Structure formats: C-alpha cells, structure tokens
Amino acid sequence: MKNMLQTTHILRFLEMQGVIITLFPSLETKRWQAAALVKSHLTWQSSLLIPLLFLFYASLGLAQQDEAIQFTVDVQPKEVFIGDKISVTFNLNYPSGTKVYFPVEPDVRPFLFVRHDKDVPHVAGQATSERHTLVLMPARLGVLTLKPIEVPYVLPDGHAEVAKTPELSIEVKGMLGDETQFELAPPGDFVEVHILNSPLVYGLIATLSAIVATVVAIFGYRWWRRWKEANKPPPPPKPPIEVALERLLKLEQMNLDPSVSFKEIALVVSDILREFLGATYGFPGVDLTTYEVMQALKTKKLGRASPLEVEDFLGICDLIKFAKYVPSVDETNSLIPRARNLINRICGHGHEV
C-alpha cells in the first residue's frame, strides 16, 4: 500500500515535470537530472518532495532566463583620476532573434554622463551581439559604485525580460601624490633662471619689420608707377566721324578768304570726306578717284545719305581742284557745312539741309 502511494506521487511528479518542461523548454536536456533526483528521493515524503523539486526547476528556469544576455565589461583607463573621462564598455551577447533595448541615457550617478557610443545592428533581432560604450566623468574621490543598469529585452518567443549589467566599483584618485595630507612638498634649492624678455624682443622685431616693409613698399610703388607709365597702352583710335568733324572745325576756324583760297578749301574738304569714307568702309579713300570711291560704296549702306549726294559733292570739289572752276563765295562757304552735314547723315545723326 505504501509503495502504491509512492508510485502515485511519482506519476504526479512526472506530470508536473512535463508542465515545468513546457514552461521552460531549455530544460528538456535535463530530464535525466529530474529522473535521478526522483529516484534518489523515493524515501522522502511525497508531500515535501514535489514542492521542493518544483522550486528547484523553477530556479533553474529563472537562472536560464537570466543568462539570455551575457555581459562583459571593460573600463578604460585602468587608473582613473578625478576630472578625467573614462569609458565603460558593455559587450552584450545573446541568442539570435533577441531584441535588446539598452537605455540611451542611463542613470550613472555618482558619475557624470558625457555621451553614449553604440555599435548595434541596424535591424533589431538580426544579430547576436552589440557593444555600448558610456563615456563618464567622476566628480569626487574615492571608490565610486556604478549601479547595475536595467536592460530590457525580448526573446525570440516574444517573452519580455529585464537584464541588469554587473555592478562596478571604480577607484577615483586625485591629482596630488598624497591624497590624505594635501600639504605641498618643501621647496628645493634656488636655481638661477635667465628669462628672455620676449615682449621687448618681439616689439623690436615688429618695429624693424614694419620699417623694412615700409621702405620696400615705397620703392616698389615707385618702380611700379614707372613700369606702368612705360607700358601704358596707347589710347584707342578715335572714330572716323570724330576725326572728320574735328578737321572740319579746325579748317573753319582758319577763316580762309573764300574768294582767294577756294581751291585749298575744296582740296582739304574733299580729302576729309574721302578719308572718312575710307576709314568707315575699309578702303583707301584718299588714294582713289571719285569713280573708284563710288564703286567701293556701291554695296555699302550710307545711312540717311544717298550715293548721288556723295558723288555730287566730290564732283564739285574735283571741278574746283582740277577743272579751274571758280565757285562763287557762297558756294565756297557752303563746302564745309555741306561736308559736315553729309558726314552726320552717313552716320545716321544728321538731317537733310
């Protein structure tokens, strides 16, 4: 009767084992441990055996879950001084498919948080490791404790848990050699030190440099002025219309007697118009006859003037120069105004008179 009762408890225990294994799949490889444990405790009271084994497996399952994320920690530099930055690197290893959510700005008191550098996968759940480096700064001396940081994560089966980083104790040293007695060491022997009067030396160098630069600038400017004058480009040539009008004005200001100097007036006026036409339309007007000039102007546009007017004016000048034609005083006086009006009309500025 007693053995049957024990067998009944064992069967119930095995049924509970199946439940436990269902809750904790990672314990399937440990069935032999459960069988050995049951066999070694057959002499126990069933009412105590089953709850103890349940707690045993539950603790194993929780331990297995806590080990889903493995932490390795590295602190640099090894010797920490107050006011210097330190790097605490957490390397996380976990099963594939696990999504880890490391805090962006965790609570790192009594340290001061500087920044968080991380090397994590671009897509959560696609890697098996990642690295987080916290750059911190100690604010006081002594052994400072960095409390565990809670890191939430989600297992591939959707189960959410929270892991904690290891607690770190970091010794922070001061900059003085003796941190318990902050007394300065006694001064040593006096040493004679020769110090260069830098402000005076720099001032003299700057003054001499300024004087030299000024002298060089003066001579350089004078040389540049002379070179510029020597290499000054010639002024651009005046337009043919300006040259012709200036020559007509000078001829008019000579106040020649039209009754005596009519031949000279006709000669100069004819040359002025021929030179203007040649410079404007690209042919040697002074060296050509009236006929040749008109042949050169046959295909040219004469503005508001007509070829007949040009030919008529040059013909009158040729009569006075070569045919011993004696014009009247009015005809002679009209040569300069006619030539000026003809030139303006050819350039499109004048009007018919």
For the chain, the domains span: 2-66, 70-173, 198-232, 240-346
In the prediction, which pLDDT does 322 show? 85
Q: Which residues pair with 162 in a beta bridge?
A: 152
In the prediction, which pLDDT does 28 show? 40
194 CA to centre of own chain: 48
Read off the amino acid at residue 233: P
In the prediction, which pLDDT does 259 show? 78
Three-state DSSP class for residue 262: helix
Read off the amino acid at residue 101: Y
Q: In whole angstroms, give the CA distance from residue 163 to residue 148.
A: 9
In the prediction, which pLDDT does 58 show? 46
In the prediction, which pLDDT does 135 show? 94
In the prediction, which pLDDT does 53 show? 47
Q: How many CB atoms lie within 10 A of CB 149?
A: 21
CB-CB contact of 327 with 263 (8 Å): no
Three-state DSSP class for residue 152: strand
In the prediction, which pLDDT does 19 show? 38
Q: Which residues pair with 73 in a beta bridge?
A: 90
Q: Distances from the Cα of 239 to the Cαs of 246, 296, 346, in angstroms?
A: 11, 20, 14
Q: What is the pLDDT of residues 102-135, one digit of tens each?
A: 999 999 989 999 999 988 877 777 788 899 999 9
CATH classification of 70-173, choosing from 3.20.20.70, 2.60.40.10, 3.40.50.1110, 1.10.357.10?
A: 2.60.40.10
For the chain, which residues score pLDDT lower than 50? Answer: 1-47, 52-54, 56-65, 350-353
CB-CB contact of 146 with 170 (8 Å): yes
Q: In whole angstroms, give the CA distance from residue 320 to residue 259.
A: 12
